[in-house]
Structure 1
Amino acid sequence: MTLDVRDGVVIGEGVLLENQPTSFVTRALAALIDVTVVVAVWALVFFGLALTGGSITDDGARILLIVLLVLFFVVVPTTVETLSRGRSLGKLAVGIRIVRDDGGPVRFRQAFVRALVGVLELWLTMGSVALICSIVQPQGKRLGDLLAGTYAIRVRGKVTVRQVVPMPPRLAGWAAGADVGRLPDGLALTVRQFLVRAQGLNPVSRAALGSRLADEALRHVAPPPPPGTGPEEFLAAVVAARRDRDHRALLRADAAERRDGDRLRRLPFGIEDPAS
């Protein structure tokens, strides 16, 4: 089963991170907040120059203006994104974050490239280049994201509820006595995604993929399921059985850890514990 990277990020270990890319509207709102803050600061700067009697025609004022341009458009965005791990004031307000293409946090290099390219695509072109690129690119990336290898994800908002694969009632008795081994990580992830998304698959592809996954999972199960069991029904029983057994194992481990902890905290040789 092919992982749909449009719904997340596949890292080097083959694990799908369910990071939802942000829409263009959300990114535009975050950019609008950031631009409003920058414009307000610039208004204060020019107001301060006016109070001190300075003018942009003065050599000193021009040098100060250049320094401020570099500071506000490159240094500050780079510093903010590096220290905040990809969250400016606008992104924080709308609940999004800039991450690397592999799902990791942005570092100085990515933040610097984004800020440097942003001078061209956001400020010098009034955002037109970023607008066109974000609309055309499937993940809503702007030019700076493409060059830096980053994109924006939602970190707040709609919560995706994971669907729990139920145990088929007809196979509950068989699963209780069967030896259901642990599936390899890649196979387990593929089986679970297949069961969750099976309703949206083409019927022919659904049947072929279900049969193939059932054959692979059958190598880790003994005895085989009762005759007449369908591939999806078998896979659901395997996933549910492993989930329930792993959960019970965790509960037993936690209980044993608490018992051992209580035993280790007791004083030896029957000495009375003052805390008791």
Structure 2
Amino acid sequence: MLPRMPGEPATLPAVTTATDTLLDGTHTVLTPEYVEFRFTLAGLYSRFLAWLLDSVIVVVISLAVILGLSLVMAAFPGVASALGIVVYFLVDWGYGITLETLWSGQTVGKRALSLRVIQESGVRIGFYHAALRNLARPVDRLPLLYLVGGVTALVSGSQQRLGDMLAGTIVVRERRLKVPSAINASGEEGLLADPLFVSRVKRLSTEERELVLTAVLRRDELRMEARLRLFAALGARLQDALAMEKPAHLSDEKWTLLVAAALLPNARSTPPRPPTRSASSASSR
């Protein structure tokens, strides 16, 4: 992701490896602030493995419930069989809808394969999107093993099956970026200790927080030109969002790092403690 100045063509940072791009393709989202997000699309193979794992879980849950119904309704085997079919479809649909809603686009299978469903605009999905894409699964499964959905994904520019097209969603691969244990804010402990600054940072929207943290985590992956332009745009945006002027001695990148440090309590630099009275006395002896 990197900002684009008005009148210039959009360019992309090297946050995705060439291998990822060739194998899975990418999806690009341009925000109104001329910041581009580049997502690596999940390939059909990884999606199939995630679906296979989810299917095993659905079958196990369904069999457990059906077995329980059979034991409870042993005197009515016909009714138990009919209820078993209903239970399977309810578990099959409810599993995907519930987990993708609660886990922001992930099921057990997707989490295991580091996949996530998001909206085409790049933001998280909600119940509406999860319901639409899962209710369309019976059509995508036709005639067997998601043949319709697989063919649709192959010819789609964003590898979307019919359910994804209906819901306006895509499936992307998540990059597991390690949050640093400490963000270097040496020399600026006074600003981090300012209650006004910290309180305004805490009021940033979820989108703005993710934007700041992503930029901080991936800044070393960017070329210098892209890095300077990205933090220049972020610095201006943060001044508007916080309604605070950036200190003149701070660069845009350092300003963004301080905001990230305020967002992550464990990442704030702890200033050295002054010596205690007893220690001072001991040293003077």
TM-score norm. by structure 1 comes to 0.55
Residues 116 and 250 of structure 1: is their aligned pair in 2 closer, same or farther, counting only changes over 3 Å?
Answer: closer
Are 1:54 and 1:61, in contact at CA under 8 Å, matched by a contact in 2? no
1:72 aligns with one of 91, 109, 127? 91
Are 1:100 and 1:151, in contact at CA under 8 Å, matched by a contact in 2? yes
Equivalent residue number for residue 164 of structure 2: 145
Equivalent residue number for residue 34 of structure 1: 54
Equivalent residue number for residue 104 of structure 2: 85
CA displacement, residues 18-40 of structure 1 (integer Å, 9 cap, x when unaligned)? 22111111111111111121122
Are 1:49 and 1:55, in contact at CA under 8 Å, matched by a contact in 2? no
Task: Tell me how far apart the structure 1 counterparts of residues 55 and 101 of structure 2 sit (CA, whole Å).
Answer: 19
Task: Tell me how far apart the structure 2 counterparts of residues 107 and 253 of structure 1 sit (CA, whole Å).
Answer: 28
Equivalent residue number for residue 223 of structure 2: 164
Are 2:118 and 2:172, in contact at CA under 8 Å, matched by a contact in 1? yes
Taking the TM superposition and a 5 Å limit, the aligned residue runs for 1:1-276 are 1-3=9-11, 6-48=26-68, 51=71, 54=74, 58-59=78-79, 61-62=81-82, 64-122=83-141, 125-156=144-175, 162-165=221-224, 185=233, 245-247=251-253
Equivalent residue number for residue 182 of structure 2: none
Task: Tell me how far apart the structure 1 counterparts of residues 257 and 132 of structure 2 sit (CA, whole Å).
Answer: 48
Task: Tell me how far apart the structure 1 counterparts of residues 253 and 139 of structure 2 sit (CA, whole Å).
Answer: 53
Task: Tell me how far apart the structure 2 counterparts of residues 127 and 181 of structure 1 sit (CA, whole Å).
Answer: 43
Residues 42 and 55 of structure 1: is their aligned pair in 2 closer, same or farther, counting only changes over 3 Å?
Answer: farther
SS at match of 1:19: strand
SS at match of 1:81: helix
Q: How much is the aligned-residue C-alpha RMSD, in angstroms?
A: 4.4
Are 1:134 and 1:141, in contact at CA under 8 Å, matched by a contact in 2? yes
Residues 183 and 84 of structure 1: is their aligned pair in 2 closer, same or farther, counting only changes over 3 Å?
Answer: closer
SS at match of 2:117: strand
> Which amino acid counterpart does residue 24 of structure 1 have in structure 2?
L
Residues 56 and 98 of structure 1: is their aligned pair in 2 closer, same or farther, counting only changes over 3 Å?
Answer: farther
CA deviation after TM superposition for structure 1 residue 183, in Å: 9.8
SS at match of 2:221: coil
Task: Tell me how far apart the structure 2 counterparts of residues 117 and 28 of structure 1 sit (CA, whole Å).
Answer: 17
Task: Tell me how far apart the structure 1 counterparts of residues 95 and 44 of structure 2 sit (CA, whole Å).
Answer: 23
Are 2:65 and 2:87, in contact at CA under 8 Å, matched by a contact in 1? no
Equivalent residue number for residue 240 of structure 1: none
> Which amino acid counterpart does residue 97 of structure 1 have in structure 2?
R
Q: Quick check: which has more Rg, 1 or 2?
A: 1
SS at match of 2:40: coil
SS at match of 1:153: strand
Are 2:104 and 2:125, in contact at CA under 8 Å, matched by a contact in 1? yes
Task: Tell me how far apart the structure 2 counterparts of residues 182 and 108 of structure 1 sit (CA, whole Å).
Answer: 33
Task: Tell me how far apart the structure 2 counterparts of residues 92 and 49 of structure 1 sit (CA, whole Å).
Answer: 31
Are 1:110 and 1:148, in contact at CA under 8 Å, matched by a contact in 2? yes
SS at match of 1:8: strand
Are 1:98 and 1:153, in contact at CA under 8 Å, matched by a contact in 2? yes
> Which amino acid counterpart does residue 223 of structure 2 have in structure 1?
V
Answer with 98-107 or 39-48: which moved more. Answer: 39-48
Task: Tell me how far apart the structure 1 counterparts of residues 147 and 59 of structure 2 sit (CA, whole Å).
Answer: 18
CA deviation after TM superposition for structure 1 residue 108, in Å: 0.5
SS at match of 1:138: coil
TM-score norm. by structure 2 comes to 0.54
CA deviation after TM superposition for structure 1 residue 250, in Å: 7.3
What is the percentage of aligned positions where both structures have the same residue?
26
Residues 9 and 248 of structure 1: is their aligned pair in 2 closer, same or farther, counting only changes over 3 Å?
Answer: closer
Task: Tell me how far apart the structure 2 counterparts of residues 128 and 182 of structure 1 sit (CA, whole Å).
Answer: 42
